[in-house]
Chain A
Amino acid sequence: GAGVSQSPSNKVTEKGKDVELRCDPISGHTALYWYRQSLGQGLEFLIYFQGNSAPDKSGLPSDRFSAERTGGSVSTLTIQRTQQEDSAVYLCASSFGVGGTYEQYFGPGTRLTVT
């Protein structure tokens, strides 16, 4: 079946604008994760969903970041009033369930550039 998809693949935006990043997980996967990878840095956990609920939002860098998931499927990560330090690749992953027993499958990422 289809893997995890993300859109757009690339996004260039001006500082101060809002952006929305979309993730379509693998069908049937109840868990969904968002990560950020800055240039030359490791993966930074942002938020995860179990169904439509986000039990752990501790990784979100600031209150400009928010995420939602609807219908237990598609998720949207929104960044308001973007800053240059938000430039990074945003990766989404899904798994059959939450927790360390399940394998994660990653999408190709969205490369965000804030000018």
Chain B
Amino acid sequence: DAKTTQPTSMDCAEGRAANLPCNHSTISGNEYVYWYRQIHSQGPQYIIHGLKNNETNEMASLIITEDRKSSTLILPHATLRDTAVYYCIVNSYGKLTFGQGTILTVHP
């Protein structure tokens, strides 16, 4: 199963872009990268996923490097409500392996 590595914590000022990196150097050709976030006492919330190309939706953008060994989640204008644990996950043929995630703290 592909493993992911993320920084333990990051800070961001409200209104600025938050760029969360993830390393998944052992990813295989058909394995998608997913991002979820979890706010205390709630279940994880889906943000975005992709295979090769960059993806954008109403919540965020996902930038995947050409060799697919790493990706970056971009929250374009972070708000205080974006404070959460962010998980980068690889879908290994139906098994999702969650790492410890990145604690993102958005400051006023």
- Is B a genuine binding partner of A? no
B-side residues, CB < 8 A to A, are none
Residues of chain A having any CB pair with chain B under 8 Å: none
